[in-house]
Structure 1
């Protein structure tokens, strides 16, 4: 923590704990929240920006710490508080802390006690800012899009007022409550990153009873197993804008039927969803939404620069949701699980040309595995590589299919299977890497081969395969920048229909929970409608026939003096807008990028 002396024009730092975040000054007392607790012997722990912090079994932080100092920076007292203590407010002997990940308002007192006011419902309300106005404590509930009033004497809710999208700050003002909404009104944008925040003044007299947390109805589905395939970064129009039966824009198609014959066949033979959205905007919050069913305050408050870390695949314990992951929900119900690549970094692999040659010769590709969540390691296929743009998805499909043949032989398949196929992310115009079309075609063929294998097995009769993108960040869409693709393949969804019902990633998680008999584990999953309407009563057991690639999936970008300097050492390591422009210019060399067009 830094202490700035404005009069002396000096700055000194004080080491008070892990990830200090919020500060409140009350007379001679200074209160600071820290998001991490030091790791203790015998307790689970994981690294956060190079420092070991105490964690829970599922990978999330065990909680934070409230620290009291004097103005000289001497620590006087510490209290353990909930996870993600995002703001602190002092009032006399009471110090209030908003713990965004545990959905609690905690009150620390001089006797060392911490009293807690919990919020109704599952994780996701995200109390993240507070202000005192008379006998009320106003709390911004970022995940609920409202501010709530708590009675300071009883700690009970007096009601709430609606705000814009994701309020991150609330303050008492001369004419009412001043609220800052991180995402403004949430109006449709052509690119998922086009949101603009807003500041508004609310009238405290408009307080109304808070709505009860909404939980949609669970549905019994005719399948009992889910295969969940997660890919990278495409919008609906980039792939499916050429499908005239859906609501798309053919002028925005970059990887149409010629490049993605399997995606097109799956959409047409099973069901085409033309109103599906990704909840997140980029890979870090995209994978959080796709697996955790929530992007916590760590993600939402880090978009200004990701100064501490860039979480991907559970490798930042301070970011992981209190609700856990889809596999935690399955394991809790005694269901079986196997993971292929999700939450896995495939490090130190050779370049693409070498790997492609090894794959075609039937030889293993060397790489080193790094997994951020300890619990996931025991359920992960050690031979299946995760993030690495130099490893073909065809190789990943081969690794999965090798184990799948063993499943067929034993007659046993896990209830939940997660598969990560990242090659449709592409490597832009990087010399020596596959062309974007080759990358996407490789990804398309891998998806087709996996679905075909499952559909020709004894497991097909009670299996549903879900295919989606983690986020839509590298493209433009005619309806909204968050609109993306989702495929649902099972004997009961082979209907050939178009559905314009609104679904998103938490709808998929809700459906998987219903399939596995698991309970929703965040309020966003609980509030989402399952996709039960896509399932017919009768099964059509015909297998899916994978389509061969119609172009060379090993085609490489040529040497190029003025190639963009793109970094693919990690997810989103490169500039995302530059990546968008590179892909656009390669697909449409004679057309201006849409954001540059004059209105």
Structure 2
């Protein structure tokens, strides 16, 4: 990562970069213009527990016990997602949208694991496998409607999942095209929010539900995270140790909500990311720099292995599939002779 003058900033290793600024110009621009978070980590190991961490700051005992079996390829336990409605998936403190409901705060969901106050148009688009940059238009239409009515939900949650990619599966969009689509969607959404009448009171938090062992020189839990708001410390690098629960705790404090578990209650709020002097400068979308319709050829690296992976929904991979996908992404971008870096894990939250 480099600042506007080309000087390296943050704790990064360019040798591990797969989707650089050419592929993700909006993610880079947002981190550069708002705040670069280079010491933020996912609480979740995989998506099954990661979605619970991301919305409830807690993983039910049954889920914690069952995900290793599922991700080990031994079958999916008999529970459903839906509204996280299966009793085995319930958490004592509920989800953050449940807290909003209890406190009388309006909310809206653009998210595939919940039915409450859901955008049905978004749900239909997801069922039709609409691409992220196209689905973003649904939100843009909604925010125009919010402006016309002079009211907007106090809390919204959204999943943009195309950056999972379909690996190098022949006929699927290339990993670069998938990530670029996701990047364009984020850029569209932030631009629309920053040019709306609600911007002066908004904060947008962006994080993965899990990093799922992506190559990193610090720790495999370290993740992409963004905080976008007029009250963000512009152009700063915040190396404070944060987690998924830190992000949730910060949202709760902004909304006046109580913690959902001991984990968000004890997490460090993201105080260092914010300032009390707002900068209302709007964000300008960076257009894509690569073709969004590029597809994998039949001879792509690990094409046959990718054909055996279920990409029909995000987060269906076993640990073996995950490793195969990570290696396919690495070698298809870095070349077959570049050694795969493997998984880095550290007990310390500090830098090496």
With the length of structure 1 as denominator, give the TM-score of the two structures: 0.52
**Equivalent residue of 2:203, what SS?**
strand
- Name the structure 1 match of 2:234: 495
Of 547, 566, 581 in structure 1, the residue corresponding to residue 309 of structure 2 is: 566
Structure 2 alignment gaps of length 5 or more: 344-352
State the alpha-carbon separation in 2 of the partners of residues 243 and 309 from structure 1.
52
Is the contact between residue 272 and residue 496 of structure 1 (CA under 8 Å) also seen in structure 2? yes
Larger radius of gyration: 1
| Aligned counterparts, 1:35-50, within 5 A | none
Contact 2:93 2:260 in 1 (8 A): yes
Given that 1:323 and 1:522 are in contact with CA atoms closer than 8 Å, whether structure 2 keeps it comes out as: yes
Q: Closer, same or farther in 2 for the Cα pair 1:243/1:568, shift >3 Å?
A: farther
The C-alpha deviation readout for 1:412-455, integer Å capped at 9, x for no partner, is: 00000111100110000111211000000000010011000000
Deviations 1:186-226, CA, capped at 9 Å, x for gaps:
xxxxxxxxxxxxxxxxxxxxxxxxxxxxxxxxxxxxxxxxx
RMSD: 2.1
- The answer to whether 1:317 aligns with 2:87 is yes
Q: How far apart are residue 315 of structure 1 and its match?
A: 5.4
User: Which of 82, 86, 102 is residue 332 of structure 1 equivalent to?
Assistant: 102
Q: Taking structure 1 as reference, are residues 569 and 417 closer, same or farther at Cα in structure 2, changes over 3 Å only? A: same
Distance 1:312 1:473, change over 3 A: farther
- Residue 130 of structure 2 is aligned to residue 341 of structure 1: no
Distance 2:109 2:78 in 1: 24
Q: Counterpart of 2:276?
A: 537
Task: State the 1:474 CA deviation.
Answer: 5.3
Match for residue 347 of structure 2?
none
Name whichever structure is richer in strand by fraction: 1
> Residues 92-491 of structure 1: matches in 2 within 5 Å?
244-306=8-70, 307=75, 308-309=77-78, 314=84, 316-343=86-113, 376-385=114-123, 390-473=129-212, 475-491=214-230
Using the TM superposition, give the Cα deviation of residue 586 of structure 1 relative to its aligned residue in structure 2, in angstroms: 1.2
Shift of 1:377: 2.8
CA contact (8 A) 1:387 1:571 kept: no
- Residue 408 of structure 1 deviates from its aligned partner by 0.9
2:332 aligned with 1:593: no
In 1, Cα distance between equivalents of 2:175 and 2:85: 28
Deviation at 1:387, TM superposition (A): 5.8
Q: State the secondary structure of the residue aligned to 1:272.
A: strand
Instruction: Quote the offset at 1:519 in angstroms.
Output: 0.6
Aligned with 2:323 (options 577, 580, 584): 577
Report Cα offsets for 1:456-500 as digits up to 9, x if no partner: 010000000001111101511100000001100111104101010
Deviations 1:113-172 (A, max 9, x none): xxxxxxxxxxxxxxxxxxxxxxxxxxxxxxxxxxxxxxxxxxxxxxxxxxxxxxxxxxxx
TM-score normalised to the size of structure 2? 0.87
> Whose RCO is larger (CA < 8 A, sep 6+)?
2
